[in-house]
Structure 1
């Protein structure tokens, strides 16, 4: 597990997540590869990093993981890009109270035997909708236990037990365009920057 904070987490890397790794396994906090490809997928099968919440329960590619292999990805926030006349301006979206976010995800055993995940997304809400039309599915505190419960496999029961975070808790601000380079990974990336000079 990483021993230092990360400020520019990119797809195709190991990310921290909470999940049950198997039948009867205790809840674990460990590393999942950010890239979802089931072990049975062959050839040029996609390796998505996100899955739309609207169809994840019924998609052949995702439905088994949705029923039995759900996970939570902790984060302080995420980046989205707002189109401006001089290019795209990155914004950092986070909780106004600075509490951690728990992003809903699904995981699967990949063809290489390692666990890989995708983060669920939903239509953007609240402050996030000012920047992008979609956002990660961030869950409220009461939803964390049922989302991780491997015995809760019924879609309707899960839908009734799991709720997204109140959109009034979200805020955002423009940040440096240094975030566009994956090699840049330091705390200054989440500091507010002028929206035209970032």
Structure 2
């Protein structure tokens, strides 16, 4: 799954790194660096606006479509295996896809003394673009779920699943609302290679959602 991540690269820099035919619209106000982004909070994602321009916008990390019954699930993740066919997700997958910028994510490895958190990121430290879907909530604002896939590379040593991190050539088609054919999507959208990632153990301070600071990503000695 993907339950915590960090996002600290300035958004102007994120926009400059993207290979899109139209430059993304930046947030009206620069979001602060965050090193322990937790579900159930407002996060900044990239989606096409009403004018067809990719725009950074605030979305709730938790997906519950406005048409869902009261008390319906509010998942933070959607699996790549079911997102295109599940009634709960398929409409958003076809028409409302977005990208979540991240500099890395956290995952927990069970051990004899409890769960040890790890930070996972690209070996070259470049930002990640996590595939996500969104839908209008009952309050009229968008809520999203980050897609996950079976873990690969070093990520598989920590957890069975990982966020779907797209390569640079997949960003434009993923955001394109005109691309709705699932077979074309499979052929066009690709994840980063398994060898692109690195992982190391970090402090259990990250377990507490209110903790913040760059030191949360510092490597520590894993128990045992």
Query: Do Structure 1 and Structure 2 share a fold, with TM-score over 0.5?
Result: yes
Which residue of 117, 139, 143 maps to 1:116?
Answer: 143
Match of 2:175 in 1: 148
Q: Does residue 138 of structure 2 align to residue 96 of structure 1?
A: no
TM-score, normalised on structure 1? 0.96
In 2, Cα distance between the equivalents of 1:28 and 1:165?
23
3-state SS of the aligned residue for 2:35? coil
Q: Which runs of 5+ in 2 are unaligned?
A: 1-28
Q: Does residue 71 of structure 2 align to residue 44 of structure 1?
A: yes
1:82 positional shift: 0.7
In 1, Cα distance between the equivalents of 2:98 and 2:168?
14
Q: Deviations over 1:143-190 (max 9, x none)?
A: 010000011011111111001111101010000000011111110000
1:2 positional shift: 5.2
Q: Which runs of 5+ in 1 are unaligned?
A: none
Q: Deviations over 1:59-87 (max 9, x none)?
A: 00000100000000000000000111111
Match of 1:178 in 2: 205
3-state SS of the aligned residue for 2:74? coil
3-state SS of the aligned residue for 1:54? coil
3-state SS of the aligned residue for 1:8? strand
Q: Does residue 56 of structure 2 align to residue 29 of structure 1?
A: yes
In 2, Cα distance between the equivalents of 1:21 and 1:86?
47
In 2, Cα distance between the equivalents of 1:192 and 1:79?
12
In 2, Cα distance between the equivalents of 1:62 and 1:183?
30
3-state SS of the aligned residue for 1:147? helix
TM-score, normalised on structure 2? 0.85
**CA 1:92–1:109: 2 relative to 1, 3 Å:** same
Which residue of 4, 8, 11 maps to 2:39?
Answer: 11
1:21 positional shift: 3.6
The count of corresponding residues between Structure 1 and Structure 2 is 196
3-state SS of the aligned residue for 2:183? helix
Which residue of 106, 115, 123 maps to 1:79?
Answer: 106
1:25 positional shift: 3.4
